[in-house]
């Protein structure tokens, strides 16, 4: 895990700022919101011309991170940020905290139905990590994915 000292604020929805494409959004911390977050990520990345392989990977990553925020915290909402800078796509998912443990990859038994999400995030991303959110109560789990831009 590589630590992140890059802590942007969640704002400027769908904007092109300083050579970077970025979008921010939040949904209620409900299982039903995971699909909404996935759809939002796919629509935005397609709008930005990101290749389909990276779109597929980003949907898996947002699903895992958003689901973890819903299941393992007592958050009312989950905030997400997408940012494209050069050949990197950063996905950040911020919860409101209230969890007793830090997110970490773990090995699950063959009979377990869950517990492999962060292992998947690690395989799909160049790096991922956890940092405190700006309030100091919650946390942000981030992942950097490689991408290609489709020709216009």
Domain count, the chain: 1
Give the confidence band of 47 by pLDDT, cuts at 50, 70, 90. very high
Q: Is residue 10 part of a domain?
A: no
Q: How many CA atoms lie within 13 A of 57 on its CB side?
A: 22
Q: What is the CATH number of the domain that holds 98?
A: 3.30.565.10
- Residue of 101 and 96 predicted with greater confidence: 96
Q: Is residue 83 part of a domain?
A: yes
Does the pLDDT value for residue 92 go beyond 50? yes
Q: Is residue 96 part of a domain?
A: yes
**Cα–Cα distance for residue pair 12/2, rounded to 1 Å:** 26
Give the confidence band of 119 by pLDDT, cuts at 50, 70, 90. confident
Tokens representing residue 94 in the block: 């911020």
**Cα–Cα distance for residue pair 22/150, rounded to 1 Å:** 17
Q: Is residue 8 part of a domain?
A: no
**Cα–Cα distance for residue pair 103/118, rounded to 1 Å:** 8
The pLDDT value given to residue 55: 96
The pLDDT value given to residue 117: 72
Give the confidence band of 126 by pLDDT, cuts at 50, 70, 90. very high
Q: Is residue 151 part of a domain?
A: no
3-state helix vs strand vs coil in the chain, percent to 5: 30, 30, 40
Q: What is the mean pLDDT of residues 18-42?
A: 92
Angle at 122 between CA 10 and CA 56, to 5 degrees: 70
């Amino acid at each position: 895990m590589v630590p992140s000292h890059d802590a942007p604020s969640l704002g400027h929805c769908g904007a092109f700022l300083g050579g970077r494409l970025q979008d921010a959004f939040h949904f209620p911390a409900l299982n039903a919101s995971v699909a909404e977050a996935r759809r939002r990520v796919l629509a935005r990345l397609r709008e930005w011309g990101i290749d389909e392989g990276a779109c597929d990977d980003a949907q898996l990553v947002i699903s895992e991170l958003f689901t973890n925020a819903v299941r393992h915290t007592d958050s009312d909402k989950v905030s997400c940020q997408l940012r494209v800078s050069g050949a990197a796509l950063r996905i950040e998912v911020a919860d409101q905290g209230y969890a007793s443990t830090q997110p970490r990859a773990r090995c699950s038994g063959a009979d377990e139905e869950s517990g492999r999400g962060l292992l998947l995030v690690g395989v799909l991303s160049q790096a991922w990590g956890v940092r405190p959110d700006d309030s100091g109560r919650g946390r942000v789990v981030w992942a950097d994915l490689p991408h290609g831009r489709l020709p216009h």
